[in-house]
Amino acid sequence: MTVDSTLPAPAIVEVEPGHSLWQDAWARLRKNRLAVASGVLLLVMACACLIGPIFSQDYAEQNLSTYATPPSAEHWLGTDTAGRDLLSRILIGGRVSFSVGLCATAVALLIGVTYGTIAGFYGGRVDMVMMRIVDIIYAFPFTIFVILLMSLFGRNFLLLFAAIGAVEWLTMARIVRGQVLTLRRMEFIEAAIATGVPRRRIILRHLIPNVLGPIIVYTTLTIPAIMLLEAFLSFLGLGVPPPMASWGVLIDDGRKVMEEFWWLITFPGLALSLTLFALNFLGDGLRDALDPKASKD
């Protein structure tokens, strides 16, 4: 190695400033082709669902002359038993499924991570009380809870988010709390305390990054679970009201007639499966990207 004496303090210049965990993770994620492809696919799907319905045919207009026609040039994915264009219904249904999946997950993440971190970090009596509350809510029958909400306040989109979010954060809180509890006793946390690092900073800079892996994995499992939950609620008649559709509703409708009209279950099913696959691959990629130990290959 030669040292160029004309360069002042070369050692300092070499160090790139602001290389945060996130920038590192992003650099690593970009190298993971499967994760990138999944991300692009999700983005395309989301954009299609967002913009698509503006250009596509009416998703609600019933037309008996186009009763359950197979895919054709006019109706790319065919029509359903009410003569409605399936593609438009998948696109509009995607809006519901995506937004329920993402919003409810976001709610679950926010509450679950905060709650679990606080319980795990403070421990003792705080932890005890907080986790018993979780146990109590856990024990509450979810379906009855939703039916109660729906019948009290009517079928409301926001309520659906709230109801699903209110249930899904429980597991997240438990997972995070368990992780934090073990991390809390690690020497690097004690070292941080002994360095005079304030609590807030310890939680944000030392604890949360270390629990990101499990959080991300669980999140990628939660989004599909919530999408399926929405489908289940729609099946019970508690989800989105017709003629509005969601992927869950479409799959359920298609299931009833799948022996005669294969496309009615195939395409919505494909849309949901592709999304879930992509979410899982992306989640996997994210987890690896955020773990510095997985970086050297």
Partner 1 sequence: MPLLEVENLRVAFHTRNGIVRAVNDVSFSLEKGGTLGVVGESGSGKSVTGYAMMGLIPQPPGRIEGGRAIFGGVDLLHASKAELNAIRGRKIAMIFQDPMTSLNPFMRVGDQIMEPLRIHGKITSDAARKKALDALAEVGVQDPSARLLAYPHELSGGMRQRVMIAMALITNPALLIADEPTTALDVTVQAQVLELIRKMQQNHGTAVIFITHDLGVVSGFCDQVQVMYAGRIVESASVSDIFERPLHPYNRALQKSIPAFQPKGRDLYTIPGAPPDLSRPIAGCSFAPRCEFATDACRKGDLTLTEVAPAHGTSCRRVQRGEITLD
- Using CB under 8 A, which of 4, 187, 260, 297 touches partner 1? 187
Nearest partner of 94 among 285, 226, 245, 218, judged by Cα:
245
Q: Is 17 in the site for partner 1 (CB under 8 A)?
A: yes
Considering only the stretches 75-83, 141-149, 181-189, 264-272, report the one whose residues sit in contact with partner 1 under the rule CB under 8 A: 181-189
200 lies in the site for partner 1, by CB under 8 A: no
Contacts of 217 (CB under 8 A, 6+ apart): 283, 284, 287
C-beta closer to partner 1: residue 8 or 154: 8
Distance, CA of 231 to CA of 182 (rounded, Å): 37
From candidates 2, 5, 65, 195, binder to partner 1 by CB under 8 A? 195
Distance in angstroms (rounded) separating the CA atoms of residues 117 and 139: 22
Instruction: Compute the distance between CA of residue 93 and CA of residue 95 in angstroms, rounded to an integer.
Output: 5
Distance CA 80, CA 257 (A): 10
Residue 155 or 206: which CB sits closer to partner 1?
A: 206
Structure tokens at 149: 């909400």
Q: Does 297 bind partner 1 (CB under 8 A)?
A: no
What residues from 99 to 158 belong to the interface with partner 1 (CB under 8 A)?
A: 123-125
Q: Is 186 in the site for partner 1 (CB under 8 A)?
A: yes
Query: 64 or 125, CB closer to partner 1?
Result: 125
Task: Give me Rg for the CA atoms of the chain.
Answer: 24
Residues 113/176, Cβ–Cβ less than 8 Å? yes
Q: Using CB under 8 A, which of the segments 47-55, 98-106, 182-190, 244-252 binds partner 1? A: 182-190
Q: What residues form DSSP beta bridges with 85?
A: 79
Residues that bind partner 1 (CB under 8 A): 9-12, 14-17, 19, 21, 123-125, 186-188, 190-199, 201, 205-206, 209-210, 212, 290, 292-293, 295-296
